[in-house]
Structure 1
Amino acid sequence: MTTMKNTAPAPAPVLARRAEAETCADPSATMTLLAETAPGEGGFTVYRSTFAEGAVGAPAHLHTRAWELFFVISGSLRVLVGEEVTVLDAGDFLAVPPHTPHAFAAAPGAEADVLFMFTPGMDRFDYLRLLGRVMRGESDPGAIAASAERFDNHYVDSPAWRAALAGTTA
Structure 2
Amino acid sequence: MSSTNADFAALLTRASEAETSADPSSVMTLLADADGAGGGFTAYRSTFAEGAAGAPAHFHTKATELFFVISGSLRVLVGDDLTVLNAGDFLAVPPHTPHAFAAAPGRTADVLFIFTPGMARFDYLRLLGSVMRGETDPEAIAESSERFDNHYVDSPVWREALAAS
For the criterion TM > 0.5, the same-fold answer is yes
Q: Which runs of 5+ in 1 are unaligned?
A: 1-7
The higher radius of gyration belongs to 1
Report if the CA contact (8 A) 2:11-2:37 is conserved. no
Distance in 2 between residues matched to 1:97 and 1:127, nearest whole Å: 20
Matched, 1:65 2:62: yes
Q: Indicate the percent of aligned positions where both proteins have the same amino acid.
A: 75
Report if the CA contact (8 A) 2:59-2:151 is conserved. yes
CA shift, 1:61, in A, is: 0.3
So what's the TM-score if we normalise by structure 1? 0.91
With 39-48 and 106-115 compared, the bigger mean Cα shift is at 39-48
What SS is found at the alignment partner of 2:35?
coil
Distance in 2 between residues matched to 1:9 and 1:51, nearest whole Å: 36
Q: Which runs of 5+ in 2 are unaligned?
A: none
Which residue, 81, 86, 96 being the options, matches 1:84?
A: 81
Question: What is the correspondence of 1:3-152 to structure 2 with a 5 Å cutoff?
Answer: 9-38=6-35, 41-152=38-149
* Residues 40/64 of structure 1: CA separation in 2 closer, same or farther (3 Å cut): farther
Report if the CA contact (8 A) 2:79-2:98 is conserved. yes
Distance in 1 between residues matched to 2:7 and 2:143, nearest whole Å: 35
Aligned partner letter, 2:106: G
Deviations 1:9-52 (CA, angstroms, capped at 9, x unpaired): 44211111100000000000000001112199431110000000
